[in-house]
Structure 1
Amino acid sequence: MNNDTSLISFCLSDVPVPQAPLNINNCLPATRIFHGRQAILQQMQQYFNQNTGKQAIFLLHGLGGAGKTQIALKFIGESVSIFTDIFLIDTSTVTTIETGFKNIATSKGVGDSSQDALQWLNGKSDEWLLFLDNADDPKIDLNKYFPQCNHGNIIITSRNPGLCVYAGSHSAVSDMEESDAVNLLLRSAAQDITYPNKAIAAEIVLCYLPLAIVQAGAFISKSGRLNSYLALYATNKTRLLSQKPAQSHDNYAWTVYTTWQISFDQLSQQAKTFLQLCSFLHYQGISEDMFKNAAGYKFGPSSPSKEELQMPLDVLSQFSDSSGNWDPLCFMDVTSEIRAYSLITFHSEQNLFSVHPLVHDWTRSGVSDGGYHHCMVKIAGMSLAGLSDTDLTAKQLLQGVLEHRKNTLGDDHPETLKAMHWVVWIYENLGKLQEAEELGRLVVKKQRDVLGEHHPDTLDSTGNLAFVFTQLGRLREAEELNIAVLKTRRHILGENHPETLVTMSNLAVTYSELGRLQEAEALNLEVLEKRRKTLAHNHPDTLFSMANLAVTYLGLGRFREAEVLQVAVLQQRKSSLGENHPETMRTMNNLAVTYYKLGRLQEAEDLGSVVLEKRSSILGANHPDTLYAMMKLAMIYNKLGRLQMAETMLVEALNKQTNLLGNSHPDTLQTQSNLGATLNKLERWQEAEDVLLPALEKQKNILSANHPHLIVTMQNMADTYTKLGKLEEAEDLNEALKRLEV
């Protein structure tokens, strides 16, 4: 091997630098403060030593500012004796590549073109090294510039991990080890490497990204303020990471933020939008499924309007094909474009993406929001609607969604509170009612203090909290809030405004749950009439009013009228929302109850079984809606005489409802009453009494005197007392039922 190594062309750092005269036969060494990276250097040393006599290609890839060029220069400086010639080419553009190869040809006297240089390398069977630096442009076909031979050595530095297809070995250049990062900071800051200084530096090292560390060190060196840097960084990070130090350790042309801005500017608008959206999620665990689920969102009566969701709908439509279906290839194209600059990383073993914490922070603070924060919150909500927490939990998905608004605007800013309102809605869709109540109360309190109780945002959140109370069985509280919101909306917006009608409809639901069926019917009829005048017959709000009225008719014993409405609603919802949408399943479940009341038990069983199966698979076995469907199907089994099956299902539902909703929730108490009825049929009278008595006492406290559920429990309890020989207690209950004209 020839030890008289020749150095051709010039040495560049990680990003393109302004044009300068070529510096032939002179290559700068690695920076004087180079530290660490021993594992990568050893990997490179081993690879090239084991592949002598055949062409060896090694790729260093990673985020701009990670130190790829410096690692390559350090390796070359330590290994100069093993290569016969070393040629360094700036590979950032086609022009610089062509110029670099032309310089090789000219200096070697073999011609004046890149093809002459490549032909000469093909015929020179020595251990030459070709260093292709800054191969960052994914549109350049680098294969054209590889000597087509079986000898020689090539090192490539790039932000594009896609170049791994050429490499016999590669290394992803990411963050430094903490100890190396600490030493690099102190050396670049010209600080003594002492234990106290190491402890301070360990708090500063900025996610262990070399360029950021060097910039921090340059500022500390200039100011002499190692102790105060963190406090300055907390409030001035954009300025600090955008400043080019006056004194530098190498010829790197750009600052941390400028480096990423160069890459960001190369992206398509679709890719830019996606990266900005990801900056409002947690920087780890970003999944394609979240966006796919959101793209499949179906509107229901309790959904936000299409106008509210217009931006997320527009964004998500870019990942759909001409038929409106999710297009995984389109999503892959966009994420691959971002990955080509290492601004996002894909982890194939988990099928998840992540963004470097500093890039994540820069994208949020260094690039204009443009409404992306609220858009991402809404996409998260659309994704979670109808999913169970076994599929994707709100906590996992929303980690970091509110972080930006809280950090930049504060906990009490109206925009932060509006985002929190959306999270309450997300919790509702997941069946996480306790979390929804806790956060909902906080949002309403803060909005009343900041915006006033008549502000539209405050009214939206108050109505949302009332809906949560209804689901929790806190019906008196729900009624109070709904009445207050309705009064304000009637005064400000008028009787016929859509928001007024939404509140009237929600109040009607509360009245139905309270057993005040005449009031519920009057409200439902009024809302339905107004919606039919202004909306299409199949509009979600119109269908919601029809479905609500049908539930009221069920409570009033007007089963035929309920059936007519439910069949019409079900047909429309299947057509517009699909078989598996929560509102479709709710209509099916209510129709099954109607068939049960009409004595059409086989039809009731068929529908009830379908609903339970769908809710179990889509919402999860522990979702409140799944448990309600289980309870209703069990009662159909009870009527069919399948008592053991009914008992098993009711016991399971009761245990889960007690844990999830509490032992005083109307759904829990209804299940408890139905279990008592089944135990009566099984002639287990004492067990029936033990189940029915506490249910009856609690229902008396929370339901109206003539509520259908309370009446059923009273009837079941009277039967139990009669069988147990407690005739006086049975007579008292029967007299009470007569007074209610049952």
Structure 2
Amino acid sequence: MSEARTPVRTAGKGAARQTVTISFAGFNRAWAAWLGDRLERRGLRVVYLRWDAPPDQSLVSLLGDLTLAEGRVLILVSEWYFQLGPRTHEEWNAALREVVAPDPARFAAVSVTTAPVPAATAVLAPVDLTNMGADEAERRLIDRLDIPLDTPVTADTARPAPRFPASMPDVWGGVPRRNTRFTGREPLLNDAYHLLQGSETGAGVLTLHGMSGVGKTQLAAEYVYRFGSEYDVVWWVNAEKRVTYRRGLAELAPKLGLQTGQEYGERLRAVRDSLRRGDPYARWLLVLDGADEPDQIWDLVPTGPGHVLITSRNPEWGEHNSKLLEVRVYDRDESVAFIRRRAPRLNEAEADQLAEALEDLPLLLDQTAGWLNDSDLSVEQYIGLLDGGIDQDVVKVSADFPLAFQTAWSILLNKLRDTVPESVDLLRLCTFFAPGFIPVRLLKEMSHDDLPEQLAGLLDDPLLWNKAINQLRQYSVVRLESHETAMDEAASSGESVYLHRMVHQIVHKDMPEADRREFIEVVRRALAEADPGRPTDTRNWDAYAEIVPHLKYADVLQSTDRRVQMLVLNCLRYMWFAGEYSAGVKLGARALRSWRRLLGESHPRVWEVTYHYANLLRSAGRFEETEAIDRAAMERLRAERGERDLDHLRMAGGLGADLWNLGRYPEALEVYEWLYPTYRDLFGEQDSRTLNALNNLGFSLRLLGRYEEARDIDLRTLEARRLLLKGRHPWTLFSEVSYAVDLRLLGKYAEAESVQAKNVREYRIVMGPDHQDTLRAQHNLALCQLRGGDRSGAAKLLTGVLEGYERKLGDTHMLTLAAAVSQSCFAREHGDIDQAREASESVIARYEMLLPENHPFTIGARSNHALILRSVGEREHAHVLAEEALAGMTGAVGERHPYTLGCAINASALRNLVGEPESAAELTRTTIARATETLGRTHPLTLSARIAHAADLRALRGRQEAEKVEQEALSDLAATLGAQHVHTISARARNRPYWDFEPQAS
């Protein structure tokens, strides 16, 4: 008996279009989009209905609701459709029989799965669309819906057609082969899909994290194969080290059709820019496999309309704008299912027993089940072998999981030792580098004097070296790697290798103690000899970035070799200059603990590492901890060596910076007013240490609002650094920004912008576009442009600066917060007021968390927030907040500080707004007097107070006096800034001026 069908007719000219409602599980969105597109191009109207099955509603009622949908209902059959809820197959069978069977013509179905589905699905008569091409799938679809085959197909050139879900993306690379034994993980795959698909543009980053062996890579690969058809680009990159990640991402450039040179840094920048813009492809998926060190690569993770999927053992990716999804060991039913697919001879009870013994770890399940399937041993006997620790070949390695089980490696190492014993020595040497990319060329480049006898021959004999490398390669212990594409020839000669972390762990563990002591010293020497020796030189930063990951594995902190200790100090200094604060803090803390124990509390290198650690800690925003460290060190050094001791002076300089960040500006000034002449007396004017102290003195004066004095000192420092260090030295460039900031704060906007624009160009060349000092320079340029009236230029720069700081330093760094303050103020005046309010609230919350109570930055941010509240009509709340800010700032920095004067201008405006014109006028009158005394009559802040006072006088009906005050202020504005300056024009239009608090972050 054949099923009665209701054909779906396409609409003729002037007729209403027929409708098809597609009901689909969210997992199959790609299929739904493709089916709908095929139908729409044949003139049908398509309604998409995502199927959901809340557990508290019956399937009968849910399916009944489908009958209310417009037109015929096309159900997209997959295992996912029936798993939502979850529901048993029996429940589904009952519901399908009750709802669909009486009226089968109301429904149609296509199937996109080969997995078991409820038996009663047969009532839907689903047509199978698996294992075929797009044309045949479309033919079957229109046949199932009885659409005439001669229906014309229209081409909609306005939108691209969705790709056939079973087809490959345009660009595909690096993806491992699909594991045909992949089992379970359905909830994880579903969660991953919805987390990525539901993310906003630029925020589509998801990290699959968990312990080694849980199958993160396998899960990512399965995700790619299931959902790859939704992307135009799928690119898989090894991300275990920064250098390999950079190279792997750069290799995407030619695949995207980007025209670049051969230098891989240029290609990398082009790829990141292409992905960010979504040009030529907006639908892209980048997989970062093995990214266990987020500190190494987070700043290079692309943003844009596509998605990034990361596999990592490190959940700290959550601190770098990534969503997290933990991959745990298998659920027991998944373990049992996997074992029975890997070892069909085992029954369910035996599989459960084995899973229990191996704690459901997928890696071990794969190896042990494969071995057991080919063995006569019972599960009980096998578990006994494991419990007894018997060292024999009791695993079977599959292509789907890497070698990792101890007994297998014992056998393999024995084979290597019997054939080419030097290969084992080389392998053991490699385990004192970090796993992953290992620059074994450093071993060849180091001095070979006084090497252990067993290593001297290996490192001195190129033939023996290549033989050892090739032996390891033959057994798949290592694979050859290179820094760049241009180094392929070097890689082929075995100058760099890649060693998997699991292999690394086992080989490192299985090593005689005598070898361990000798080999670790060799690697320490190799790293020390690779030290470029100048961490302040940006040209050496790539070398330091390569060295740093290996310090931990070479256990350099236990070395008493002075060269190794100097390497550690140089790496800490590099990490501070390069902005790698989080990783630097961790290394500095470990070094301080180790060296105090190894060298004694008062050893010179202990004071040296204390200084570097404090710098990193301060830059990471932990100011109170840093102050305690600096004070304790100062007191001890002063007692032991006297106050003119160099280490004491250095720690005092650090204390001054702590006081800046804690808002204790007068105390900081006292420190630098003593430090600068002390350094000058010891070393003279033209010494970098003297100039550093002079620079800090200038910043202290700026924080106190003494802008003219700060400008004079910053100009002296800049000119001296140009003579001593040259124009493009990082410290010279830093002084140039400081000078430009002073000019801007003095109201010399055009001069400031001229200096700053040149400085930004220099910074981009010397430090690169993403360095925090480059971003600081660009931030000041944006503010210069804003004061000069270039709103579009300022908007673009401010957005880029904030995004750059968030990527580089995180969202609680002082520089990030300063940029967020500027962005919020800009949005209040020229953008989205709701966005400004949200950003402002976030800034205040972060300042409150980071800084002590009543810090000027927190108070200033609240003053800014009062202006936002005014703009959205919350006048009373704004008034209260503005008055609190004025009182708080007066207490924090004094009544004549520019911060306080600015708060007063804002508070006066709110007083006028809530009906207190007398009080407002009195406040602006007082503010004018104090601003004139502090900043001068024609400073922009003083002029703002004068314009505001005129407004207050008008509110009091003192028209004649108001006109006089206003005209004098307008005349001074025109003379100072120009008749056509935006501030002058605004004042002439009688727009009341407000003051934006700007935190001066160090």
Task: Give the shorter-chain TM-score range.
Answer: 0.5 to 0.7
> Over aligned residue pairs, what C-alpha RMSD do you find?
4.3
The structure 1 residue matched to 2:525, chosen from 270, 273, 276, is 273
Query: Where does 1:593-672 land on structure 2 (aligned, <5 Å)?
Result: 593-640=783-830, 642-672=832-862
Query: Where does 1:659-738 land on structure 2 (aligned, <5 Å)?
Result: 659-738=849-928
| Offset of residue 570 of structure 1 | 0.8
Deviations 1:265-312 (A, max 9, x none): 8x5xxx3435679xxxxxxxxxxxxx9xx99xxxxxxxxxx75768x9
Partner of residue 84, structure 1: none
CA–CA separation in structure 2 for the residues paired with 1:712 and 1:690 = 16
CA–CA separation in structure 2 for the residues paired with 1:493 and 1:570 = 32
CA–CA separation in structure 2 for the residues paired with 1:725 and 1:578 = 53
The structure 2 residue matched to 1:530, chosen from 720, 742, 767, is 720
Verify: 1:461 aligned to 2:713, yes or no: no
CA–CA separation in structure 1 for the residues paired with 2:599 and 2:804 = 42
- Confirm or deny: 8 A CA contact 1:421 1:443 kept in the other structure: no
Deviations 1:160-192 (A, max 9, x none): xx9999xxx9994887xxxxxxxxxxxxxxxxx
Going from structure 1 to structure 2, the CA distance change for 1:420 and 1:734 (only over 3 Å counts) comes to same
| Offset of residue 695 of structure 1 | 1.8
CA–CA separation in structure 2 for the residues paired with 1:535 and 1:465 = 25
CA–CA separation in structure 2 for the residues paired with 1:603 and 1:560 = 15
| Offset of residue 262 of structure 1 | 4.8
Deviations 1:530-587 (A, max 9, x none): 3344443333333222211211112211111111111111111111111111111111
- Confirm or deny: 8 A CA contact 2:908 2:920 kept in the other structure: yes
- Confirm or deny: 8 A CA contact 1:444 1:458 kept in the other structure: yes
| Offset of residue 422 of structure 1 | 0.6
Going from structure 1 to structure 2, the CA distance change for 1:492 and 1:605 (only over 3 Å counts) comes to same
CA–CA separation in structure 1 for the residues paired with 2:646 and 2:585 = 27
- Residue ranges of structure 1 left out of the alignment (5+ in a row): 1-35, 49-56, 63-67, 73-87, 95-133, 146-161, 176-208, 212-255, 278-290, 296-305, 320-325, 336-343, 345-352
CA–CA separation in structure 1 for the residues paired with 2:703 and 2:643 = 26
Going from structure 1 to structure 2, the CA distance change for 1:309 and 1:527 (only over 3 Å counts) comes to closer
- Confirm or deny: 8 A CA contact 1:650 1:671 kept in the other structure: yes
Given residue 840 of structure 2, which amino acid in structure 1 is its aligned partner? L
- Confirm or deny: 8 A CA contact 1:718 1:730 kept in the other structure: yes
Given residue 623 of structure 1, which amino acid in structure 2 is its aligned partner? H
The structure 2 residue matched to 1:44, chosen from 386, 392, 400, is 392
CA–CA separation in structure 2 for the residues paired with 1:499 and 1:600 = 39
CA–CA separation in structure 1 for the residues paired with 2:588 and 2:808 = 20
Partner of residue 77, structure 1: none
- Confirm or deny: 8 A CA contact 2:536 2:573 kept in the other structure: no
CA–CA separation in structure 2 for the residues paired with 1:394 and 1:545 = 25
1:683 aligned counterpart, secondary structure: coil
- Confirm or deny: 8 A CA contact 2:772 2:808 kept in the other structure: no
Given residue 565 of structure 2, which amino acid in structure 1 is its aligned partner? H
Query: Where does 1:121-136 land on structure 2 (aligned, <5 Å)?
Result: none
- Residue ranges of structure 2 left out of the alignment (5+ in a row): 1-383, 397-405, 424-454, 459-463, 472-496, 933-941, 943-1002
2:644 aligned counterpart, secondary structure: coil
Q: Which has the higher contact order (CA 8 A, sep 6+)?
A: 1
CA–CA separation in structure 1 for the residues paired with 2:705 and 2:912 = 27
CA–CA separation in structure 1 for the residues paired with 2:505 and 2:646 = 54
Query: Where does 1:24-63 land on structure 2 (aligned, <5 Å)?
Result: 42-44=390-392, 61=410
Partner of residue 235, structure 2: none
Partner of residue 749, structure 2: 559
Given residue 562 of structure 2, which amino acid in structure 1 is its aligned partner? G
CA–CA separation in structure 2 for the residues paired with 1:407 and 1:725 = 68
Going from structure 1 to structure 2, the CA distance change for 1:677 and 1:411 (only over 3 Å counts) comes to same
Deviations 1:416-462 (A, max 9, x none): 11110010111133233233222222222222222221112211221
- Confirm or deny: 8 A CA contact 1:569 1:587 kept in the other structure: yes
Going from structure 1 to structure 2, the CA distance change for 1:434 and 1:144 (only over 3 Å counts) comes to closer
1:579 aligned counterpart, secondary structure: coil
Partner of residue 380, structure 1: 572
- Confirm or deny: 8 A CA contact 1:381 1:422 kept in the other structure: yes
Task: State the identity as a percent.
Answer: 21
2:590 aligned counterpart, secondary structure: coil
- Confirm or deny: 8 A CA contact 2:393 2:407 kept in the other structure: no
Given residue 876 of structure 2, which amino acid in structure 1 is its aligned partner? Q
| Offset of residue 475 of structure 1 | 0.7
Deviations 1:633-662 (A, max 9, x none): 111122216322222211111111111123
Given residue 392 of structure 2, which amino acid in structure 1 is its aligned partner? M
- Confirm or deny: 8 A CA contact 2:653 2:675 kept in the other structure: yes
Partner of residue 143, structure 2: none
- Confirm or deny: 8 A CA contact 2:585 2:616 kept in the other structure: no
CA–CA separation in structure 2 for the residues paired with 1:144 and 1:560 = 64
Verify: 1:430 aligned to 2:620, yes or no: yes
Query: Where does 1:62-211 land on structure 2 (aligned, <5 Å)?
Result: 139=465, 172=506
2:562 aligned counterpart, secondary structure: coil
Going from structure 1 to structure 2, the CA distance change for 1:641 and 1:407 (only over 3 Å counts) comes to closer
1:42 aligned counterpart, secondary structure: coil
Given residue 650 of structure 1, which amino acid in structure 2 is its aligned partner? S
The aligned length equals: 476
- Confirm or deny: 8 A CA contact 1:517 1:556 kept in the other structure: yes
Partner of residue 246, structure 1: none
- Confirm or deny: 8 A CA contact 1:515 1:703 kept in the other structure: no
Going from structure 1 to structure 2, the CA distance change for 1:473 and 1:397 (only over 3 Å counts) comes to same
| Offset of residue 684 of structure 1 | 1.5
| Offset of residue 59 of structure 1 | 6.0
- Confirm or deny: 8 A CA contact 1:475 1:702 kept in the other structure: no
- Confirm or deny: 8 A CA contact 1:60 1:171 kept in the other structure: no
Given residue 382 of structure 1, which amino acid in structure 2 is its aligned partner? Y
CA–CA separation in structure 2 for the residues paired with 1:429 and 1:143 = 43
- Confirm or deny: 8 A CA contact 1:662 1:668 kept in the other structure: no
Partner of residue 705, structure 2: 515
- Confirm or deny: 8 A CA contact 1:385 1:426 kept in the other structure: no
Deviations 1:61-119 (A, max 9, x none): 59xxxxx99xx9xxxxxxxxxxxxxxx9798589xxxxxxxxxxxxxxxxxxxxxxxxx
Deviations 1:355-377 (A, max 9, x none): 6xxxx4xx766x65123224213
2:591 aligned counterpart, secondary structure: coil
CA–CA separation in structure 1 for the residues paired with 2:470 and 2:525 = 33
Given residue 371 of structure 1, which amino acid in structure 2 is its aligned partner? R
Given residue 697 of structure 1, which amino acid in structure 2 is its aligned partner? A
Going from structure 1 to structure 2, the CA distance change for 1:550 and 1:260 (only over 3 Å counts) comes to same
Partner of residue 608, structure 2: 418
2:631 aligned counterpart, secondary structure: helix
Given residue 716 of structure 1, which amino acid in structure 2 is its aligned partner? N
The structure 1 residue matched to 2:761, chosen from 561, 571, 595, is 571
Going from structure 1 to structure 2, the CA distance change for 1:460 and 1:37 (only over 3 Å counts) comes to farther
Deviations 1:603-633 (A, max 9, x none): 2111111101111111112222111101101
- Confirm or deny: 8 A CA contact 1:381 1:423 kept in the other structure: no
CA–CA separation in structure 2 for the residues paired with 1:711 and 1:670 = 11
Going from structure 1 to structure 2, the CA distance change for 1:374 and 1:667 (only over 3 Å counts) comes to farther
Going from structure 1 to structure 2, the CA distance change for 1:42 and 1:505 (only over 3 Å counts) comes to closer
| Offset of residue 482 of structure 1 | 0.6
Partner of residue 542, structure 1: 732
- Confirm or deny: 8 A CA contact 2:825 2:864 kept in the other structure: yes
